[in-house]
Amino acid sequence: MALTSYPKVSIIVASYNSADTIQECLQSLLAQDYPQDHVEILVMDGVSKDNTVQIAEQLGIKVVSVGLNAPAAYNYAQKIVQHSILGFVDSDAKVESTWLKKLVRHLNEPTVAGVSGSIETWNQTNPWAKCIGYELKNRYQRIGKYTNRIATMNLLLKKTVIEQAGGWNENLPSQYDTDFGYRITQQGYKIAYESTAICYHYNRPTLKAFYRQQLQYGKNTLKLYLKHKKLAQGDEITDIGMNIQPLLLLSAVVLFCLGFVPFLRLLWIGPPVILLGMLLYFTVSALKIVHQFHDPTAIRLIILYIIRAIAWFNGAITTTLTHLTTPTNDSKKTETSK
């Protein structure tokens, strides 16, 4: 379906120490096959310590430097941008030249709040990044014409819908996109998915970087599920198999500890059974992706799955301990009044 008119779009790029990728990211946005005077690009930088800001400014892009997390930066940005359609592209992503043109045509539907494109791997030569890309692509292929939530990696949204939903949840440094998707779904909206509009994402190139990323997801996923319990049932992108893995690890730890009680020693059977079951699940999942993409190196996903499960478990434990050891507002008030 050809465009008969070109709506004006403000594209927001949240960045922090993104010098390695920000130039190609912004160049891909500047190279869009779209009327240049209909596109505004704004970089919301979290006070980077490298030369991210200088690179953006050399390309003629407006930069706002504020010490905010991504959702807070988005809330700030939507107050100062010019247009009623907002685009969100991660600073470690780049889009093909017809990306915007392919996406905007879906926004004519009144119940469509936004639209996203598909994801390919930018740094294909790195084996870990390539395997992460396979797994992410496999999950995105489960999405139909519409979905209830999508990552802000590459996304267009109607500004009015964001405002109706109350903006982005600034208490979730990650998973805020899932929270937002849930809230707009409750209002009867949906997000369109255009598989032909391609975004290339720079996936984590090392196991350490992947663990750190997933640890943050683990911390905020627990907060998210405590707020929206229905989300724990899973969806096309994050299924129930992923969500129960931290609980299985917790069960293994609990059974191991209880086994130190003499008359409960039989419980020590539980942890190896649970861990072997998880390993079998990871192996089968990895083999399916090996077959799907015809790449034996995707068997590395077994290691990535193990790291992700441990990171989510540690993240959930960290969030729980923080919650238990942080005084509530009421207790703070009581201590202040003494």
List, for residues 206-237, the tens digit of each pLDDT value. Answer: 999 999 999 999 999 888 888 888 888 888 88
- Say what percent of the chain tops pLDDT 90: 84
> Shortest CA distance to 181 belongs to which of 154, 147, 217, 227?
147
Query: Stretch 256-278: mean pLDDT, rounded?
Result: 96
Mean pLDDT score across all residues of the chain: 93
Q: Would you state the torsion angle of the CA atoms of residues 225, 227, 230, 233, taken in this order, to the nearest 10 degrees?
A: 0
In eight-state DSSP terms, residue 167 is S
pLDDT digit string (tens) for 135-148? 999 999 999 999 98
pLDDT at 236: 82
pLDDT digit string (tens) for 19-66? 999 999 999 999 999 999 999 999 999 999 999 999 999 999 999 999
pLDDT at 332: 43
The answer on pLDDT for 271 being more than 90 is yes
- For residues 99 and 153, the answer to whether their CB atoms sit within 8 Å is no
Number of C-beta neighbours around residue 148 at 10 A: 18
* Termini Cα distance of the chain: 68
In eight-state DSSP terms, residue 126 is S
pLDDT at 22: 98
C-alpha to C-alpha distance for 249 and 280, rounded to whole angstroms: 14
Enumerate residues 6+ apart whose C-beta is below 8 A from 270: 251, 252, 255, 256
C-alpha to C-alpha distance for 5 and 296, rounded to whole angstroms: 46
- For residues 112 and 52, the answer to whether their CB atoms sit within 8 Å is no
Residue that the structure tokens 């390993």 belong to: 279
pLDDT at 322: 86
C-alpha to C-alpha distance for 165 and 174, rounded to whole angstroms: 18
Confidence of residue 338 (pLDDT cuts 50, 70, 90): very low
pLDDT at 328: 56
The answer on pLDDT for 306 being more than 80 is yes
Q: Would you state the torsion angle of the CA atoms of residues 149, 153, 156, 157, taken in this order, to the nearest 10 degrees?
A: 50
pLDDT at 331: 42
Confidence of residue 197 (pLDDT cuts 50, 70, 90): very high
Residue that the structure tokens 């800001």 belong to: 53
The answer on pLDDT for 334 being more than 50 is no
Query: Stretch 314-332: mean pLDDT, rounded?
Result: 76
Superfamily of domain 9-205: Spore Coat Polysaccharide Biosynthesis Protein SpsA; Chain A (3.90.550.10)
HSE (CB half, 13 Å, CA atoms) of 325? 6
- More confident: 74 or 325: 74
C-alpha to C-alpha distance for 38 and 7, rounded to whole angstroms: 7
Paired strand residues for 117? 194
- Say what percent of the chain tops pLDDT 70: 95
Record the tokens describing residue 245, joined without a space: 């893995």
Confidence of residue 333 (pLDDT cuts 50, 70, 90): very low
The answer on pLDDT for 335 being more than 60 is no
Dihedral (CA of 120, 126, 127, 128) sign = negative
**H-assigned helices in 186-296:** 207-227, 240-243, 245-258, 270-293
| Domain residue ranges of the chain, discontinuous segments joined by + | 9-205, 233-325
Residue that the structure tokens 């990895």 belong to: 286
pLDDT digit string (tens) for 161-171? 999 999 999 99
Confidence of residue 4 (pLDDT cuts 50, 70, 90): low
Confidence of residue 336 (pLDDT cuts 50, 70, 90): very low
C-alpha to C-alpha distance for 124 and 203, rounded to whole angstroms: 9
